[in-house]
Amino acid sequence: MCSCGTTMIICPESKAEIYLDNEYVGQGIAEVKSIGFPHTADLEARRGGRVIGKTTMSRSFTFGTFCIGLVTYYTGFIWAWYYPDDVTIPIYANYMPGNEYKSLWDHSDESIWSKPIQSLKK
């Protein structure tokens, strides 16, 4: 369960490694600190070293930011912005769990140029 002050990052692929701004934060599900300066974070899900999903999340000015700002002599208006409670990283449509991710461009074995030249005579 997500505790107060944290954001839960979820990836549908439970064995995927989750990275926030290229820093490893967990596998399948991760929790990160929610409160901080305004920031847009890049989230990636990786499996076997390959990116299988990607999204971003941004901190925003909330009612909590407003309340903290009043209590902290207005400094909270600068540093008390919040990420959403939870974020799901969507995985790419052509990624199949259990198989190595392959780009649509990685099918070199099906190229017409890699096949032998055949004669025109029958």
What is the Cα–Cα distance from 42 to 39, expressed in whole angstroms? 10
Does residue 108 lie in a domain region? yes
Residue 96 lies in a domain: yes
Which single residue is written with the structure tokens 């971003």? Answer: 56
Indicate whether 102 belongs to any domain.
yes
Has residue 1 been placed in a domain?
no
Residue 99: which domain range?
6-114
Mean pLDDT over residues 9-28, rounded? 96
Q: What's the maximum distance between 2 C-alpha atoms anywhere in the chain?
A: 89
Residue 119 lies in a domain: no
CB contact set of 38 (below 8 Å; sequence gap of 6+): 58, 59, 60, 61, 81
How many structural domains is the chain composed of?
1
This prediction's pTM: 0.74
Instruction: Tell me the pLDDT of the chain averaged across its residues.
Output: 85
Residue 121 is assigned to a structural domain of this protein: no
Q: Please state the rounded mean pLDDT for residues 104-120.
A: 58
Instruction: Say if 120 falls within a structural domain.
Output: no
* Distance of alpha carbon 122 from alpha carbon 117, whole angstroms: 14
Which pair of structure tokens corresponds to residue 69?
Answer: 């700002």
Q: Is the pLDDT of residue 55 over 50?
A: yes
Q: What is the pLDDT of residue 105?
A: 56
3-state secondary structure of 111: coil
Q: Of the candidates 36, 21, 27, which has an alpha carbon nearest to the alpha carbon of residue 9?
A: 27
